[in-house]
Structure 1
Amino acid sequence: MTALPFSSTPLSPALLDNLASLGYHSMTDIQAQTLPLILAGKDVIGQGKTGSGKTAAFALGLLHNLNVQRFRVQSLVVCPTRELADQVAVEIRKLARAIHNIKVLTLCGGAPMGPQIGSLEHGAHIVVGTPGRIEEHLRKGRLSLNEVNTFVLDEADRMLEMGFEQPLQYIVDHCPAVRQNLLFSATYPAKIEQLAQHVMHNPEKITVESTHDHATIEQYFYEVDDNAMRMQATQKLLLHFAPSAAVIFCNTKAQCQELCDSLRQCGFDCGALHGDLEQKDRDRTLVRFANQSMSVLVATDVAARGIDVDHVDMVINYHIAHDPEVHVHRIGRTGRAGNKGVACSLMSYKESHKVNALEDYLNTTVEPTDLPNDNVFGNPVKRAPMVTIQIDGGKKSKLRPGDILGALTAKDAVKGAQIGKIKVTAISAYVAVERKAANTALKVISEGKMKGRQFRARKLTK
């Protein structure tokens, strides 16, 4: 099927010009199938995997229908996690660059309430947030959804898995009865169908395969007996394949943290991502994994939603997923953007029913592979190429990425090519620096000045 250009849609010239400047010329499958329906005002259910381009599909629909002159909340996007909400808001702002004076506001749990209250008082056109925090602002009378014309549920399956039915019901009850509804979900269990029947009006359902070709993913299955063997097998696989970036999926938070601690002791640059972490620790972990200063991320399925990293070259299923669709979604984290990927799954005889379900779902036979032999323990641990430096200053201190880059390269102490991603949040900033230049960079930032003052800084190691 020939990729359709965005110019084939009725989007405004300003939006089309901005898409071209961003390098977005042709639509992905889910965009080509859903965007015309969205622009026509239809209710749409889009089922597609992470990386399918669904965010741009609904974001362009919101922007196409927006009346900038009317400073009221006209579109509401609800996401399961703060990380995903932040990514969606960034994407909307990027696509909205051609529209002047547009305001996109994020309302997420785990973030301070005060700044959100202040932002709500000033108004917004589009709100992106998590169910619990949106509900809280509604109950306090700080947020009005009376003029919402487009309601979006992103990663709807995960919202129900996380128990957000009640907040979602409350939010829906506070939206106008006449509105456009867009629901996007990686999977489509019965609960999602029930939600769609309640929220939507004669929706069009579009299902597309993942944007990456699963032929680019090599799958291996390994037999293990117990937890100790799983841990050793995981270490062997990491030493054998030596991935630049690996995601290991665990079924429970306790397994996730235990495995992460064990891998750290073996010398891996490893971090855990699960529901028991404080928000600041989740943020640091995500920053380090995205900027390549952490090479192994151990995560639960729910916590991993919202991670959008194309350079993952290996996925390990520490246990077989409870649901075959979840397995497919997990391994779809690798082999993206045209890259090759490896997916390794550990299985025991106790999981034979899950393996059988997976074979039926994939219409294939799972053939176990022998684990690498013990010689791999002589292989060096592949370290992450970068180190993250956290700076105790951010947007509230008027700190910008250019200030950090300028400070590091001013006296040629650190080369520009040695500096990776820079992320500035409200009260902190993070800069990735090549490992061999990390100590120098830390000294420059700690002892030098930015914006006429000194900032405390430290290397993030876990």
Structure 2
Amino acid sequence: MNAFEALGLNEHLVQAVADLGFEKPSEIQEKAIPVLLSGTTDFIGLAQTGTGKTAAFGLPLLQLIDPTQRHAQALVVCPTRELCLQITNDLEKFKKHSKNIFTEAVYGGASITMQIRNLKKGVQIVVATPGRLIDLIERKAIDLQKVKYVVLDEADEMLNMGFRDDIDFVLKNTINRESIWLFSATMPPEVRAISRNYMETPKEVTVGKKNSGNVNIDHQYFVVPQQHRYEALKRLIDFNPGMYGIIFTRTKIDAQEISERLAKSGYEIEALHGDLTQQQRDKVMGRFRTKSLQLLIATDVAARGIDVDGVTHVINFELPDDMEVYTHRSGRTGRAGKTGICLSICHSRETFKIKSLERMINAQFHKVDVPSGKDVCRKQFFHFMDTLMQADVSSGDYETYMPDLMEKFASVSKEEVLQRVASLEFNHFLKYYENAEDLNRSDIRGDRRQPSTGGDARDGSRKERTDFNRRDNGYTRLFINLGTKDGFYKASFLQFILDESNLKKEVLGKIDMRDMNSWIEIDKAEAGRMITAIDGKRYNNRTIRMNEADGGFKRPNDEGSGGGRERKRTYAPKERRSFR
């Protein structure tokens, strides 16, 4: 008998699971499915993300649904659009051989009219984010009195995001439900309150210990001075050349700044933040899922609900303020039985948090030294050599060119060929890291340290800045009275100023966008050209004002409308925020 069939699933679901290549149920599936198939037992499942929770509730739900009744029989409520779509996609795969069962994902950022139209066609399972679900209920597109099963997935996340009132509303008004199934990675008091207020003697199943972390994740931490966090981050990325990872920061601005610096250095990275439209967010996530991006950087809010297979590393640029958030961050790797690594960059004053985390998730953290420059170069070198040796040369008409190659290299030894290949591939790394400082020394202080020499590890050109607060002496800051409320996001704004000024991207540094205005770092030699090209132009019936943030540059013949008098300028205040 098939292992899933032994749990009580019907032949259609068992066949669908087999088609997906699953042979043995995960621990949460093994414990949850037999209980949930009864349909009448309230249930609490405590398990980390990536342990197979969707199948644990999705398969029983599909078996309990009555396909002859074309109305909403089950609600699956989850915190984010990404998770909503992921659950719906999984349910579609599970019901491959089951007839006349229909699902619909409803979430903000998409046409509510289209969602209402689909619901009216007859849908038995609705997967929803809380806000859009309430909208649909108020529009009478969903009849709560006919709902039998309510599933709360990642309940702790929903409560952290402020959806307590929405959850209360749904649970108070599903008066004819037969059971509530609550799944959560952690069990804070707010989640316990829901079980106490709305559930009757729930069956509780815990995979691992409560609030525990995934046992497949290796937790490592690095202690560095505050000023060297970015350099430490960069070394960790370079030391893991096959990394496919997510970097977490506390703030949106930090995420954007780090993303810009790494992208400028040649890393395939983009940031997820609140300034992106849903379409832009979908595009970024699409690129990350297809591995067109090596790295994704985000705040906890922006990254909630991200469910991507194969993430090898999670990096905490800073530890979260809320220790339970660490569980959700680290849970983005080590999914579906695979192993993963969670790296945390800490200051010496934060090591007490590591001890707290060890107790909370019942896992040991390993203190590791930040790799030296030589370690990074050595790791990159051998990774390249392994890739070279594994290259597929079975296809392609290489034989045609071999005589010419043999003639070209007839007088060159094998050792010299290897040296030249290594030089082409690693010269930039060697130059960047040749004078790299030992970041593990306890006596180094960023405010006394001289800037490191050498170009960037990826492009070999721009000197690395050791402190985010310090602007390079070759740069100045420009103020412009355009911002996100003018319809710009970072990429479109960058394209706009480059198109208008006819300058190259290489002359720009950091861009800081706000609602009504922005600041642009630019090579001092090119600041005048940009101001002359852009200041005074019109955009959406507004006159663009651009000037040096400290009031240094003015356009030639800069006259206002009142004859020959100099136009009065409004200068931007100096940036008050410092990088943490």
Per the normalisation by structure 1, the TM-score is 0.76
- The separation in 2 between residues aligned to 1:26 and 1:325, in whole angstroms, is 30
Give the residue type in structure 1 aligned to 2:219.
Q
Q: 1:92: which partner in 2?
A: 91
Q: Which moved more, 1:135-144 or 1:157-166?
A: 135-144
Where 2:247 maps in the other structure, the secondary structure is strand
- The separation in 2 between residues aligned to 1:336 and 1:358, in whole angstroms, is 20
User: Residue 225 in 1 paired to residue 225 in 2?
Assistant: yes
The aligned length equals: 382
Where 2:58 maps in the other structure, the secondary structure is helix
- The separation in 2 between residues aligned to 1:318 and 1:203, in whole angstroms, is 39
Q: 2:346: which partner in 1?
A: 347
Where 1:188 maps in the other structure, the secondary structure is coil
- The separation in 1 between residues aligned to 2:376 and 2:366, in whole angstroms, is 25
- The separation in 2 between residues aligned to 1:365 and 1:102, in whole angstroms, is 45
Give the residue type in structure 2 aligned to 1:316.
I
- The separation in 2 between residues aligned to 1:361 and 1:99, in whole angstroms, is 42
User: Residue 23 in 1 paired to residue 35 in 2?
Assistant: no
Q: 1:438: which partner in 2?
A: none
1:409-448 → structure 2 map (5 Å cutoff): none
- Kept in 2: contact 1:250–1:318 (CA 8 A): yes
- Kept in 2: contact 1:245–1:296 (CA 8 A): yes
User: Residue 298 in 1 paired to residue 297 in 2?
Assistant: yes
Displacement of 1:258 after TM fit? 2.2
Label 1:120 to 1:52 Cα distance change in 2 as closer, same or farther (>3 A).
same
- The separation in 2 between residues aligned to 1:126 and 1:357, in whole angstroms, is 40
Displacement of 1:375 after TM fit? 4.5
2:30 to 26, 29, 32: 32
Give the residue type in structure 1 aligned to 2:252.
K
- The separation in 2 between residues aligned to 1:209 and 1:275, in whole angstroms, is 34
Displacement of 1:21 after TM fit? 2.5
Label 1:221 to 1:81 Cα distance change in 2 as closer, same or farther (>3 A).
same
- The separation in 2 between residues aligned to 1:144 and 1:358, in whole angstroms, is 43
**Deviations 1:298-325 (Å, cap 9, x if unpaired)?**
1223433333333222221111233444
- The separation in 2 between residues aligned to 1:309 and 1:232, in whole angstroms, is 27
Give the residue type in structure 2 aligned to 1:202.
T
Per the normalisation by structure 2, the TM-score is 0.61
Label 1:158 to 1:264 Cα distance change in 2 as closer, same or farther (>3 A).
same
Give the residue type in structure 1 aligned to 2:15.
D
Displacement of 1:328 after TM fit? 3.9
- The separation in 2 between residues aligned to 1:280 and 1:334, in whole angstroms, is 25
- Kept in 1: contact 2:52–2:336 (CA 8 A): no
Where 1:281 maps in the other structure, the secondary structure is helix
- The separation in 1 between residues aligned to 2:274 and 2:348, in whole angstroms, is 29
Give the residue type in structure 2 aligned to 1:264.
A
Q: Structure 2 regions of 5+ residues with no counterpart?
A: 385-491, 496-580
Label 1:105 to 1:240 Cα distance change in 2 as closer, same or farther (>3 A).
same
Displacement of 1:286 after TM fit? 1.2
The answer to which structure, 1 or 2, has the higher relative contact order (CA under 8 A, 6+ apart) is 1
Where 2:146 maps in the other structure, the secondary structure is coil
Q: 2:483: which partner in 1?
A: none
Displacement of 1:62 after TM fit? 1.3
- The separation in 1 between residues aligned to 2:361 and 2:142, in whole angstroms, is 45
User: Residue 101 in 1 paired to residue 107 in 2?
Assistant: no
- The separation in 2 between residues aligned to 1:366 and 1:100, in whole angstroms, is 48
- Kept in 2: contact 1:249–1:300 (CA 8 A): yes
Displacement of 1:271 after TM fit? 1.5
- Kept in 1: contact 2:42–2:203 (CA 8 A): yes
Q: 1:315: which partner in 2?
A: 314
User: Residue 59 in 1 paired to residue 58 in 2?
Assistant: yes
Give the residue type in structure 2 aligned to 1:136.
D
Q: Structure 1 regions of 5+ residues with no counterpart?
A: 384-459
Displacement of 1:99 after TM fit? 1.8
Give the residue type in structure 1 aligned to 2:31.
Q
Q: Which moved more, 1:270-279 or 1:46-55?
A: 270-279
**Deviations 1:75-120 (Å, cap 9, x if unpaired)?**
1100100100001011111111222222111110111222112212
Q: 1:200: which partner in 2?
A: 199
Label 1:39 to 1:244 Cα distance change in 2 as closer, same or farther (>3 A).
same
Displacement of 1:12 after TM fit? 2.0
Label 1:198 to 1:4 Cα distance change in 2 as closer, same or farther (>3 A).
farther
- Kept in 2: contact 1:320–1:355 (CA 8 A): no
Where 1:195 maps in the other structure, the secondary structure is helix
Label 1:9 to 1:243 Cα distance change in 2 as closer, same or farther (>3 A).
same
Label 1:377 to 1:368 Cα distance change in 2 as closer, same or farther (>3 A).
closer
- The separation in 2 between residues aligned to 1:68 and 1:362, in whole angstroms, is 42
Q: 1:50: which partner in 2?
A: 49
- Kept in 1: contact 2:44–2:182 (CA 8 A): yes
Q: 1:443: which partner in 2?
A: none
Q: 1:126: which partner in 2?
A: 125
- Kept in 2: contact 1:236–1:376 (CA 8 A): no
- The separation in 1 between residues aligned to 2:190 and 2:377, in whole angstroms, is 49
Give the residue type in structure 2 aligned to 1:351.
E
- The separation in 1 between residues aligned to 2:53 and 2:120, in whole angstroms, is 31
Q: CA RMSD in A?
A: 2.9
